[in-house]
Structure 1
Amino acid sequence: MGDSDPRGFLTTGREEWPRRPVEERVRDWREVYVPGALLPIVRGQADRCMDCGVPFCHEACPLGNLIPEWNELVARDDWRAASDRLHATNNFPEFTGRLCPAPCEAGCVLAINQPAVTIKNVEVAIADRAWERGYAPPRPPDRLTGRTVAVVGSGPAGLAAAQQLTRVGHTVVVYERDDLAGGLMRYGIPDFKMEKHHLDRRIEQMAAEGTRFRTSVTVGRDVTADELRRRHDALVLATGATAWRELPVEGRELSGVHQAMEYLPHANRACHDPQADPRAPLSATGRHVVIVGGGDTGADCLGTAVRQGAASVSQLDIYPLPAAERDEDAEPWPTYPKVYRLSAAHEEAGALGTAPAADADARLFAASTLRLTGDASGRVREVHLVEVEPEGRRPVPGTERTLPADLVLLALGFTGPAQEDGLIGQLGLDLDERGALRRDSGFATDVPGVYAAGDAARGQSLIVWAIAEGRAAAAAVDRYLTGASRLPAPITADARPMRA
């Protein structure tokens, strides 16, 4: 065991896991980081943790991750104990360490006047080492309760609920409409952000523990809600918020205008299919691409289009260009601030000059779509946009311009769970004013034995919130089935992120 340095935050600067050179990584679909380059620096980075008296990183993370504890253990080179402390609060740290935007780092006490601890990098280093050294074996229950639970949806909320319930002895069946489990982590997240072997490995672990997976089954159509309730003692609905927002402008009906979640699953499947046609209708190869929407989904489209060899790629963000530093009045520490961030995809697009008209990297800020125009065959050819004022989003006169576009991708977020499969109607569930499933603070819907977790009920959110919801909903279901539960419940259904 090594010794930690209590003055590490004074002697060591922040150093992040380096990315591979842009020219190299855009030629493949592998993760963007330099393999093996994290371990040599991670102990020193963990040592920057101040072990502060009130660790606000706990409050910033809905999972309640024991961050100072596992930072200390990594600094001391005690990887087994670090893995135990990490997995005590997080079922899938290899997912969150790659996909979460790290609100814990925004809440780091060191971040008040210095760069925050690289919590996310330490987390993923622990998770990966745990798998390498066998610290994450299957944990099947000692005995079965005789109760059965159906989990509908295999995204992070559904998987977390299923694993927790399986481990306390319930027989759990996960129903997934796609051909493979994983939800949006499977077909919505590109491989350059998380390679799918991480997902496959965790699902294999869950199957070894006793969780059963039924894929290519759409609940509501292939199996009705009544059938599911007859087969199982409780249901957990974790279907996600997959009803996408539309762009209500002239020209939306033109060929070549697609939702991001039509494009990304197609691209994810294609990068694993050597027979895929690079010029398929939903490929960006050789096309001028405009992405409408400035969030993470838009950035995923951006990185994907770059790798497919688009002629140009631009991303429209209706919000103004963020500042480089936190606005202490509007977004004081420890809230998660809206500042300028350079994702791997934006770094690639900026370095390659994919959008000559961009304000920064590939993004045009304070940009709103007015209309789409096409050619005589009905295919989109141009996006007409206008600059908008920061407050009120009113168009600025004289700022209209056009961008060439023969593929337009809409990444405008999601409104709630999809209803076309009929499940919500069959169960007679209510939706709230946001379009999400209505439930009480204990994750229960008004139908006895039916619980809701994740984005389907919370609304579009982060992966850490989804896992926290799955864990807490599992505790509620366990209590419903047995009268008590020893499962942790990190949040209530009405918990919300810290805001000013």
Structure 2
Amino acid sequence: MGQLMGFLNIEKKNQHERQPVERIKDWNEYRENLPDQDVQKQAARCMDCGTPYCQIGMILNRGTSGCPIHNLIPEWNDLVYRGLWKEAYERLSKTNNFPEFTGRACPAPCEGSCTSGFVSDPVSIKTIERKIIDKAFDEGWVVPKPPLRRSGKKIAVIGSGPAGLACADQLNKIGHEVTVFERSDRPGGLLMYGIPSMKIEKDVVDRRVSLLEQEGIIFETNVEIGKNRSYEELKTAFDAVVLCTGSGKHREVVLEGRTLKGIAPAMDYLTASNRHLLYDEPLQADYDAKGKRVIVIGGGDTGEDCVATAIRQGCKSVVQFGKHGKLPAQRAESNPWPEHPNVFSVDYAYEEAETLFGKDPRAYYVQTRRFLGDQEGHVTGLVTGSFKEDNDAAEKTWDADLVLIAIGFQGAEDSIFDAFGVERDSSGRVIAANALDYQTSEPGVFAAGDARRGSSLIVWAIEEGRRAAASVNLYLDKKEALSQK
């Protein structure tokens, strides 16, 4: 284990965060790595538990507890503590295809179930993980490792988000020939266009995609199955198809005034912002917050990213509506360890809003009832009520020039079901038989990630991609065995 009693005697430290007043002036990542010796000291806090709850990866009380990809956390913590950084990288890579993504954008359910957190602060697992992979890239330890032999089997992976990339990576390692189809102009899915650069700079995504290409994976962009490529073509050219298209159908609000200009889905807004930064594409008025009063409907992470993006675009003000109340400062009795702690926190966007505007942008129990507009058909505000039972009749009017809808997703987009003929459930997710084989109703077609699971975490997407790859490989082995009889 690490240092005896380290979890009590050593103060927890996370990745260094740049000062809000400085970071809102640019689009660079707001977190920076700690020095080697500081991270080794943090690794010394690991207890090396007999039962490491940090890696259980379970759903408890509708929340993720522990690491879904079952990272060998105590093992690489101990290696870091002893200064064996390369060995720590090798151990981390056994379970996690892309630590540079999870070390930046994962909410770290591993820390919420860390045993140290039961009596003290949890170990800074996410901080240590990012340091390991960033150091590995800096030292040149991360190199292409193409398979020694090819199986002759061809697999098409539709979608290049974390699930698609993980699935493709695993299948390629086995020796299958993998082609990843992406309808956008760059691989990466939400990693590229849905997550702001403040969390994941895009050269981090490009670096990993380049590595996968050097290992033999083929990426075809600007390809949308059902439009410029048919499923029939894929069935002829490939031995199996894996749907990793994500859960891209945004949840809509059906309210008076919804068709007014200046109201946009959050993901469209974030994508436009990322494209503007990557290609210097002009921003449409509905995606530019400069000088505007911005309201974000939805209290989740996507809404928070909209807040941070609007601030960097130069908004006049920003408010984020949430339907629930303010979380408690400490775990409630109904939220015991090792469940993920549902407690109040001031994350990066909220800290920035407080610095810029002098107050937290979050408003609680807000129920949007209708939108208001001017004679030109542009939004000027909205009217809200309350989700509190004792105050449901009260109405309030808010001024707004830009409204962003971030209330979640309704499963895979309809085009997926039309193009592949696979069945969906009532939530719009692709029905795959179970979490053991990931097969859909269409023979030889599999599904993984948000398309199958529903909108979730990066770590769940990676885990689903890995498991789907194993299922595809088993399917191909059985198919070949049957053909030889």
- Correspondence for 1:426: 419
Question: Quick check: 2:2–2:48 contact (8 Å CA) kept in 1?
Answer: no
The counterpart of 1:23, out of the listed 12, 21, 24, is: 21
- Correspondence for 1:345: 349
- Number of aligned residues: 469
Distance 1:278 1:263, change over 3 A: closer
Residue correspondence of structure 1 range 231-310 to structure 2 within 5 A: 231-274=237-280, 276-277=281-282, 280-310=285-315
| Displacement after TM superposition at 1:184 (Å) | 0.7
| Displacement after TM superposition at 1:483 (Å) | 3.7
| Displacement after TM superposition at 1:21 (Å) | 1.0
Structure 2 residue 420 is matched with structure 1 residue 416: no
- Correspondence for 2:448: 453
Name the amino acid aligned to 2:381. E
| Displacement after TM superposition at 1:397 (Å) | 4.4
The counterpart of 1:195, out of the listed 201, 205, 211, is: 201
Distance 1:303 1:38, change over 3 A: farther
| Displacement after TM superposition at 1:427 (Å) | 2.5
Name the amino acid aligned to 1:434. S
Residue correspondence of structure 1 range 387-426 to structure 2 within 5 A: 387-389=386-388, 394=389, 396-397=391-392, 399-419=394-414, 421=415, 423-426=416-419
- Correspondence for 2:61: none
- Correspondence for 1:438: 431
**What CA distance in whole angstroms lies between the structure 1 residues aligned with 2:251 and 2:70?**
32
| Displacement after TM superposition at 1:38 (Å) | 4.7
The structure with the largest helix share of the pair is 2
The counterpart of 1:332, out of the listed 324, 336, 339, is: 336
The counterpart of 1:118, out of the listed 112, 121, 124, is: 124
Name the amino acid aligned to 1:372. F
**What CA distance in whole angstroms lies between the structure 1 residues aligned with 2:46 and 2:252?**
44
Question: Quick check: 1:386–1:395 contact (8 Å CA) kept in 2?
Answer: no
| Displacement after TM superposition at 1:215 (Å) | 0.3
| Displacement after TM superposition at 1:39 (Å) | 3.3
Deviations 1:165-221 (CA, angstroms, capped at 9, x unpaired): 011110000000000000011001000011011111100110000000000100111
Question: Quick check: 2:286–2:402 contact (8 Å CA) kept in 1?
Answer: no
| Displacement after TM superposition at 1:338 (Å) | 1.8
Distance 1:462 1:484, change over 3 A: farther
| Displacement after TM superposition at 1:272 (Å) | 2.4
Name the amino acid aligned to 1:311. K
**What CA distance in whole angstroms lies between the structure 2 residues aligned with 1:251 and 1:28?**
34
- Correspondence for 1:154: 160
**What CA distance in whole angstroms lies between the structure 1 residues aligned with 2:462 and 2:166?**
6
TM-score, scaled relative to structure 1: 0.91
CA RMSD of aligned residues (A): 1.6
- Correspondence for 2:320: 315
The counterpart of 1:207, out of the listed 208, 213, 216, is: 213
Structure 2 residue 110 is matched with structure 1 residue 104: yes
| Displacement after TM superposition at 1:386 (Å) | 1.9
| Displacement after TM superposition at 1:8 (Å) | 1.4
**What CA distance in whole angstroms lies between the structure 2 residues aligned with 1:24 and 1:218?**
40
Name the amino acid aligned to 1:406. D
| Displacement after TM superposition at 1:281 (Å) | 3.6
Structure 2 residue 3 is matched with structure 1 residue 5: yes
- Correspondence for 2:137: 131
Question: Quick check: 1:346–1:362 contact (8 Å CA) kept in 2?
Answer: yes
Unaligned runs of 5+ in 1: 486-500
**What CA distance in whole angstroms lies between the structure 1 residues aligned with 2:397 and 2:266?**
21
**What CA distance in whole angstroms lies between the structure 2 residues aligned with 1:94 and 1:287?**
34
Deviations 1:395-432 (CA, angstroms, capped at 9, x unpaired): 7146321221010000010010001x3x4223221101
Name the amino acid aligned to 1:425. D
Name the amino acid aligned to 1:269. R
Q: Which runs of 4+ in 1 moved over 6 A?
A: none
Structure 2 residue 87 is matched with structure 1 residue 94: no
Distance 1:40 1:402, change over 3 A: farther
Distance 1:437 1:53, change over 3 A: same
Residue correspondence of structure 1 range 31-70 to structure 2 within 5 A: 31-34=29-32, 36-59=33-56, 60-70=66-76
Distance 1:440 1:397, change over 3 A: closer
SS at match of 1:45: helix
Name the amino acid aligned to 1:443. Y
Deviations 1:441-480 (CA, angstroms, capped at 9, x unpaired): 2101122111000000100110000000000000000111
**What CA distance in whole angstroms lies between the structure 2 residues aligned with 1:277 and 1:207?**
31
Distance 1:280 1:374, change over 3 A: closer
Name the amino acid aligned to 1:284. A
TM-score, scaled relative to structure 2: 0.94
**What CA distance in whole angstroms lies between the structure 1 residues aligned with 2:403 and 2:285?**
15
- Correspondence for 1:171: 177
Identity of matched residues, %: 44
The counterpart of 1:469, out of the listed 454, 461, 464, is: 464
Question: Quick check: 1:437–1:452 contact (8 Å CA) kept in 2?
Answer: yes
Unaligned runs of 5+ in 2: 57-65, 481-485
| Displacement after TM superposition at 1:337 (Å) | 2.5
Deviations 1:100-126 (CA, angstroms, capped at 9, x unpaired): 101100110011121110101100000
Name the amino acid aligned to 1:52. C
| Displacement after TM superposition at 1:68 (Å) | 0.2
Question: Quick check: 1:256–1:379 contact (8 Å CA) kept in 2?
Answer: yes
Name the amino acid aligned to 2:50. G
**What CA distance in whole angstroms lies between the structure 2 residues aligned with 1:446 and 1:481?**
17
**What CA distance in whole angstroms lies between the structure 1 residues aligned with 2:476 and 2:42?**
44
Question: Quick check: 1:278–1:308 contact (8 Å CA) kept in 2?
Answer: no
**What CA distance in whole angstroms lies between the structure 1 residues aligned with 2:96 and 2:291?**
42
